[in-house]
């Protein structure tokens, strides 16, 4: 505009009025028109800060504000970008994006805590595994069922070893195959051994049979073989990756067909059998009570107590022996069901939000606008994100399974057996003979 006015300056002497009118016209074309409406925020109007939403699509921010990182492809000026959905104006959302989508510190602190819970579970379940492997009275039926379940729970909890103290190491890893494969394998193994516990109680209680006493070869083939096959399928499909929270799992495209639906096919029948078993126990107990009352009412003279029925005594013994194992099976199944429902209803929200990109771009603009904060921009994505309390609860419940194992089976008799074993070893090392103290429990 300025060169044009300089060229026309000689005309000013000829017709100043004409030159003045023409100059005003040129200036009005060159500068923005005054409007009553504005897309600036009150803060931008008051402080005169940058309005990023008005910037052209090829605009590049020379120095990205924290916590964003530089888009190295955008700086070339060729219109390229590292990620069209997570990058804008030459700046990209750092990994993991979930830490920024929620309010400041929520995701990192929440999932670091659940990861610590899972680590504690791994340590406690390892103690039970070693105990059931070493103690002689634990290497027989039905304690072998608990041993195998403890091993599978240890594998399930040991996924925390990959990220303890530094969750980003797993969340931002380009290769989540190893922790993902362990998680898939251990999830199915835990579910199948829980199913074996439930079937063992059902067969022993309802059918009065010790069917599984000599069937451990078959149980091992099924309960370790099926998880191995499914894990190999997941590896073959290259479907293991980080999606959310602090775990690598099957990606959303395959997660229901390959992971949750097969788990449901195992869990649901097992749960129904479990309910049926306890209905049977309740029915027998009620029937025995009614028969006892009837015999007493029909008797004459001194009322003599009727001996308890064989079925009732059998049920009492069965429940006393295996109630811990069955309670653990129920806890494990309920935990998996809760995690499944939470994952099914919530996690697809964040993957859909990232895939569509519209809300992510709006959030990016909000975060890149000077003066805005992570807590302010959270409101843009709030309705499209998984419920943070629900996901932390689901992750924590899944991490507690090893703690439940230790609480139920780390009882005093276990430590007595360790004491007896250490005492025997000391006697053998000294070349003496001695007697063991304390009781030996067959009960689980």
Q: What is the pLDDT of residues 327-343, one digit of tens each?
A: 887 888 788 888 888 88
Which residue would you say has higher pLDDT here, 294 or 173? 173
The pLDDT tens digits for 34-55 are: 555 555 556 555 555 556 666 7
d(CA 340, CA 394): 9
Which alpha helices (DSSP H) does 299-347 contain, by range?
310-342
Q: Would the pLDDT of 247 be above 90?
A: no
Handedness of CA 320, 324, 326, 330 (dihedral sign): positive
Give me the residue spans of the domains in the chain: 112-298+306-346+386-430
pLDDT digits (tens, 9 = 90+) for 386-402: 889 998 999 999 999 99
Does the domain spanning 112-298+306-346+386-430 belong to CATH 1.20.1070.10? yes
Question: pLDDT: is 384 or 393 the higher one?
Answer: 393
H helical segments located in 163-237: 168-171, 177-206, 216-236
DSSP annotation of 34 reads P
Q: Is 260 exposed, middle or buried (0-12, 13-18, 19+ CB in 10 A)?
A: buried
Average pLDDT along the chain: 80
pLDDT value of position 440: 39
The mean pLDDT value for 80-107 works out to: 86
Compute the radius of gyration of the chain from its Cα atoms: 34
Task: Note the pLDDT of residue 334.
Answer: 84
- Return d(Cα 177, Cα 193) in angstroms, integer: 24
Task: Express as a percent the part of the chain with pLDDT over 70.
Answer: 75
* 442 or 184, higher pLDDT: 184
Residue among 281, 289, 285 at smallest CA distance from 322: 281
pLDDT tens-digit map of 270-294: 888 888 887 887 787 777 665 555 5
* Residue with the larger pLDDT of the pair 221 and 414: 221
201-207 contacts, C-beta under 8 A, 24 or more apart: 201/274, 201/277, 201/318, 201/322, 201/325, 201/326, 202/273, 202/274, 202/276, 202/277, 204/318, 204/322, 205/277, 205/280, 205/281, 205/314, 205/315, 205/318, 205/319, 206/277, 206/280
> pLDDT by residue (tens digit) across 407-440?
988 888 888 989 988 988 888 888 755 444 444 3
Alpha-carbon span 197 to 332, nearest angstrom: 11
CB atoms within 10 A of CB 371: 12
Find the range with the poorest average confidence among 63-72, 154-163, 315-324: 315-324
pLDDT value at 173 more than 70: yes
| Spatial distance between the Cα atoms of 429 and 78, rounded to a whole number of angstroms | 78
| Percent with pLDDT over 90 in the chain | 23
pLDDT (0 to 100) of residue 402: 92
Average pLDDT in the 204-215 region? 86
pLDDT of residue 271: 83
The pLDDT confidence band at residue 83, using thresholds 50, 70 and 90, is confident
Q: List all residues 6 or more positions away from 146 whose beta carbon is below 8 Å from its beta carbon.
A: 128, 132, 138, 197, 325, 409, 444
Can you give the pLDDT at residue 443?
A: 46
Give the pLDDT of residue 441.
39
For range 364-375, the mean pLDDT:
83
Q: Which position has the higher pLDDT, 377 or 296?
A: 377
pLDDT at residue 317 greater than cutoff 70: no
Residue 218 above 80 pLDDT? yes
pTM: 0.78
Over 60: is that where the pLDDT of 57 sits?
A: yes
């Amino acid at each position: 505009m300025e060169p044009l006015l300089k060229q026309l300056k000689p005309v000013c002497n000829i017709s100043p009025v004409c030159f003045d009118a023409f100059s005003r016209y040129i200036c009005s074309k060159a500068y923005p028109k005054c409007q009553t409406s504005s897309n600036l925020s009150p803060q931008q109007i008051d402080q005169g800060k940058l309005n990023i939403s008005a910037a052209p699509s090829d605009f590049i921010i020379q120095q990205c504000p924290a916590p964003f990182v530089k888009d190295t492809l955008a700086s070339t000026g060729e219109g390229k970008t590292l990620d069209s959905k997570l990058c804008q104006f030459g700046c990209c959302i750092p990994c993991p994006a979930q830490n920024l989508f929620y309010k400041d510190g929520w995701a990192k602190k929440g999932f670091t805590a659940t990861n610590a819970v899972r680590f504690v579970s791994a340590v406690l379940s390892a103690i039970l595994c070693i105990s059931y492997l070493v103690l002689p009275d634990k290497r027989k039926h039905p304690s072998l069922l608990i041993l195998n379940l403890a091993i599978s729970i240890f594998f399930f909890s040991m996924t925390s070893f990959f990220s303890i103290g530094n969750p980003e190491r797993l969340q931002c890893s380009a290769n989540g195959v190893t922790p993902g494969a362990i998680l898939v394998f251990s999830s199915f193994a835990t579910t199948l051994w829980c199913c074996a516990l439930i079937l063992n109680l059902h067969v022993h209680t309802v059918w009065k049979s010790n069917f599984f006493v000599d069937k451990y070869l078959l149980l091992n083939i099924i309960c370790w073989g099926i998880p191995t096959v499914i894990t190999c399928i997941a590896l073959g499909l290259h479907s293991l990756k980080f999606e959310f929270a602090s775990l690598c799992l099957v990606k959303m495209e395959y997660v229901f067909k390959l992971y949750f639906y097969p788990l449901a096919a195992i869990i649901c029948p097992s749960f129904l059998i479990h309910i049926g078993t306890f209905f049977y126990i309740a029915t027998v107990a009620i029937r025995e009570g009614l028969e006892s009352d009837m015999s007493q009412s029909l008797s004459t003279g001194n009322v003599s107590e009727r001996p308890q029925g064989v079925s009732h005594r059998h049920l009492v013994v069965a429940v006393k022996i295996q109630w811990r194992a069955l309670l653990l099976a129920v806890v494990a199944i309920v935990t998996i069901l809760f995690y499944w429902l939470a994952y099914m209803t919530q996690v697809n929200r964040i993957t859909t939000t990232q895939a569509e990109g519209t809300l992510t771009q709006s959030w990016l603009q909000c975060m890149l606008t000077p003066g805005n904060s992570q807590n302010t921009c959270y409101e843009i994505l709030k309705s499209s994100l998984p419920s943070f309390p629900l996901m932390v609860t689901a992750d924590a419940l899944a991490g507690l399974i090893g703690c439940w194992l230790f609480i139920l089976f780390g009882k005093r008799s276990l430590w007595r057996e360790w004491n007896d074993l250490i005492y025997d070893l000391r006697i053998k090392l000294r070349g003496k003979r001695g007697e063991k103290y304390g009781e030996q429990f067959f009960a689980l």
